[in-house]
Amino acid sequence: MSSVLVIGSGLGGLLAAVRATDAGHRVVLVTKSVLPESNTRYAQGGIAAALFRDDSVDAHVLDTLRAGAGLCDPGAVRVLCEEGPARVRDLIRFGVDFDRDESGVARGLEAAHSRSRVVHAGGDATGAAVEAALVATVRRRAAIEVREHTMLVDLLVEDSGAVSGARIFDPDGVQRSLEADAVILATGGAGALYTHTTNPPVATGDGVAAAWRAGASVTDLEFYQFHPTALAVPGTPLVSEAVRGEGAVLRNQLGERFMLAEHPDAELAPRDVVARAIARQMEWQGGAPVLLDATGLGREKLETRFPTITAACRAAGLDWAVEAIPVAPAAHYWMGGVETDAWARTTLPGLFAVGEVARTGAHGANRLASNSLLEAAVFADRSVRALDQPWPTRTEGHARSPVSPFSHHFDQATRSADLSYALVELVETATGSSSADPATLVDRRTLQQLLWDYAGVHRSGAGLAAAAANLAEWTAPDPASTAVAALEDRNLLDLARLLVTAALAREESRGAHYRSDFAETRPELARSVSQARSSQPRPQSLELVPAQEAIAC
């Protein structure tokens, strides 16, 4: 029996805590806000899994690989799709009441899926249903020690490089250490990097930043998915892709349906395609949002299938049963994160990562719709199954065996000849002293606008260089701060530098990463950008790592 510290209370963290407790481990679960608050709670579309007779694991695998634009790890994708159905059944046993129809469990079609395989709950409230069921399950496990309003500050790392716990900021306003035999990061994404996001305010990338500062490898950070359709009103509430799956169409301000000319799948094209097409239309329209026309679905369908979106429209004074509603892209999901193997193990012994904080390789350059909750469930389960396993050695990692299928990253990484030390130096100041000059202290709103303008849906070398120059001039708040906002800003500055560095290094367009100065996909760059702090004089290394058996799509 070991002591396990789980950080985060979305699907990944909650399920990991339950599984670890049931396996006999001592579990402490900490979360920055209240237990039910996470990105999971706001997920609308559903969970994709090959649960039906007219579907197959192979078809789900192929759809996922195609969406990933050549950067998926096929082994991770196979694990995701093969184990996904069992994890959905687990959620049903934990109390998630998926919607039903006359054939049994109801299912929907979303972009880039070749089958209708997305199961949902509460119409468009799948995440809320999953979160509620798992929170109730955690509450029933008296052995789980839950600490709310407790923020991760940094990881505790031994001289050997193993993670032995975390530095946390507790509700009493004090930083203290929590020791553990294993740490499972489940802290979610970092939508707060951008001005417009569908994420809740707690999504400030705390886990990715802390893992990087501890020396873990972080990978694919340039790939941030922008959901094409957030309601263009204050708060940017999500308008699920499932709405388009049910038949809604996109129109410009002239009422013209523009996606027919953009992609054979029109509104059901991959998310990056739709988001960029909307962004172009908005540019031609002087910044005005495009329109999502769901009037053809009828009021009863809209109110029954999409009650959450209906309520959001009503709150904004819109009636989407009789009028098209304004929508625009917003930062939604980070495909990159802390690099893991197929058992959620990171490059630091003792540290696991599950959910959006992790880069498992299952999403590649562009996540397939409704694979995110599935990934959190599958790899949370696997992380607990690996708790008592020996940590893979670097040599074992290359074999990608069932026990230790670790990434190629460790010994076979190769530095790209065209990566200059200027990119490396960009992030050096992220490790600087805490004696910040107040005149250059990072400002969150300015950072968010900077990334939105230069590292958002459309990017260019010149814009990214401008962002890099600005980021290099700012200093981070003192890590000993007792203000949550200051600690979050420290994380956001670290992550902004890392994201921009990766985006500058990727001189092509692939998946969710689009550069106007390198508008084509370059097959020779079907490699992941990995970044890790080094023990060398320079505190940052940046490598282009060949994708494992990369699939060219």
Nearest partner of 339 among 199, 211, 478, judged by Cα: 211
Give phi and psi for 528, each to the nearest 5.
-90, 145
Which amino acid appears at position 324 of this protein? A
Tell me the average pLDDT across 454-465. Answer: 97
Q: Tell me the C-alpha distance between 396 and 401, whole Å.
A: 8
- In this structure, of 161-165, 364-368, 402-406, the range with the lowest mean pLDDT score is 402-406
Tell me: pLDDT of 19 over 90.
Answer: yes
What was the pLDDT predicted at 544? 56
Find out whether 35 and 148 touch, Cβ atoms under 8 Å: yes
| C-beta neighbour count of 322 within 10 angstroms | 8
| Burial profile 168-180: b = 16 or more Cβ within 10 angstroms, e = fewer | bbeeeeebeebeb
Q: Tell me the C-alpha distance between 489 and 477, whole Å.
A: 7
pLDDT tens per residue across span 379-396: 999 999 999 999 987 645
Nearest partner of 495 among 217, 212, 199, judged by Cα: 212
Tell me: pLDDT of 120 over 60.
Answer: yes
Does the annotation mark 271 as catalytic? yes
What was the pLDDT predicted at 180? 98
Find out whether 243 and 276 touch, Cβ atoms under 8 Å: no
Tell me: pLDDT of 399 over 90.
Answer: no
Tell me: pLDDT of 550 over 50.
Answer: no
The CA–CA distances, whole Å, from 138 to 16, 93, 132, 179, 289 equal: 10, 14, 10, 21, 42
Confidence of residue 90 (pLDDT cuts 50, 70, 90): very high
| C-beta neighbour count of 411 within 10 angstroms | 9
Average predicted confidence (pLDDT) for the chain? 89
Could you tell me where the beta strands, DSSP code E, fall in 406-516?
none
DSSP for 297-358? G-HHHHHHH-HHHHHHHHHTT--TTTS-EEEEEEEEEES-EEE--TTSB-SSTTEEE-GGGE
**Residue scoring higher pLDDT (395 or 370):** 370
Tell me the average pLDDT across 244-255. Answer: 96
Confidence of residue 255 (pLDDT cuts 50, 70, 90): very high
What was the pLDDT predicted at 381? 98
Residue labelled with tokens 């070398």 = 461
Find out whether 359 and 264 touch, Cβ atoms under 8 Å: no
Per residue, what are the HEC states of 27-84?
EEEECCCCCCCCCHHHCCCCEECCCCCCCCHHHHHHHHHHHCCCCCCHHHHHHHHHHH
Which amino acid appears at position 61 of this protein? V
- Could you tell me the end-to-end alpha-carbon distance of the chain, in angstroms, rounded to an integer? 45
Q: Tell me the C-alpha distance between 500 and 465, whole Å.
A: 8
Which residue in 271, 400, 506, 533 is the catalytic one? Answer: 271
pTM tops 0.85: yes
Find out whether 32 and 202 touch, Cβ atoms under 8 Å: yes
For residue 490, what is the enclosing H or E element? Answer: helix 484-505
What was the pLDDT predicted at 533? 86
What was the pLDDT predicted at 536? 37
> Residue 402: CB partners within 8 Å, gap ≥ 6?
none
- In this structure, of 158-172, 272-286, 461-475, 528-542, the range with the lowest mean pLDDT score is 528-542
What was the pLDDT predicted at 169? 97
Looking at 386-437, list the stretches that DSSP marks H as alpha helix, in order from N- to C-terminal side: 394-399, 409-412, 421-426
Q: Tell me the C-alpha distance between 138 and 25, whole Å.
A: 14
Find out whether 243 and 47 touch, Cβ atoms under 8 Å: no
Tell me: pLDDT of 365 over 70.
Answer: yes
The CA–CA distances, whole Å, from 90 to 34, 86, 125, 277, 379 equal: 24, 6, 18, 38, 13
Task: Establish how many alpha carbons lie within 13 A of residue 451's alpha carbon, considering only the half-sphere containing its beta carbon.
Answer: 30
Phi-psi region of 326 (alpha: psi -120 to 50; beta: other; left: phi over 0): beta
Backbone Cα Rg of the chain: 22
Tell me: pLDDT of 45 over 90.
Answer: no
What was the pLDDT predicted at 433? 39
What was the pLDDT predicted at 103? 84
Q: Tell me the C-alpha distance between 494 and 499, whole Å.
A: 9
Work out the angle at residue 179's Cα, subtended by the Cα atoms of residues 176 and 182, and round it to the nearest 5 degrees: 135
Tell me the average pLDDT across 216-237. Answer: 95
What was the pLDDT predicted at 57? 98
